């Protein structure tokens, strides 16, 4: 069965999130507690990816990591980009809490 899903693009600036060059830049930020990694924010070509262990979710850690990695992206002179599915409410909330604003969306197909 074919479904349509909306992808939402967020940026800290109100200009095109796709306005960056093709420099291969990759880096990550880790959050750890008692020697165990509990959260991770990665950047690849200005696009942010996040993951936080289930026991540490809903504490603001994902928003904090998103803010911090976005600062690093901006220090490098680029525009941070956060992309998520429109039905992923937690991820949408994370983006908004980190200071990102929606700047566009598009629809794509998904098979289930």
What CA–CA distance (Å, rounded) separates 84 from 66? 13
* pLDDT per residue of the chain (112 residues) written in tens, 0 to 9: 344 444 455 555 444 444 445 444 678 888 888 888 899 888 888 889 999 999 999 999 999 999 999 998 888 888 899 988 888 899 999 999 999 998 877 766 555 5
pLDDT for res 78: 87
pLDDT for res 105: 77
pLDDT for res 97: 95
In a 13 Å sphere around the CA of 75, the CA atoms on its Cβ side amount to 6
For residue 80, which of 8, 5, 15 has the smallest C-alpha distance?
15
What CA–CA distance (Å, rounded) separates 61 from 98? 10
DSSP state letter for 19: -
Using alpha carbons only, what angle is made at residue 70 by residues 43 and 5, rounded to the nearest 5 degrees?
Answer: 65
Q: What is the pTM of this model?
A: 0.74
Element containing residue 67 per DSSP (H, E): helix 61-75
DSSP state letter for 55: G
In the chain, the domains with their CATH numbers are 2-111 (3.40.630.30)
**Do 108 and 7 contact (CB within 8 A), yes or no?**
yes
């Amino acid at each position: 069965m074919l479904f349509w899903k909306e992808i939402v693009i967020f940026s800290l600036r109100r200009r095109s999130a796709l306005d960056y060059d093709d420099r291969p830049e990759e880096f990550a930020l880790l959050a750890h507690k008692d020697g165990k990694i509990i959260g991770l924010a990665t950047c690849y070509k200005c696009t942010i990816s996040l993951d936080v262990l289930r026991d540490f979710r809903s504490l603001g850690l994902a928003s904090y990591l998103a803010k911090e990695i976005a600062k690093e992206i901006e220090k490098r002179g680029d525009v941070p980009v956060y992309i998520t599915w429109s039905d992923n409410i937690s991820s949408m909330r994370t983006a908004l809490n980190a200071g990102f604003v929606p700047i566009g969306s598009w629809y794509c197909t998904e098979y289930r």
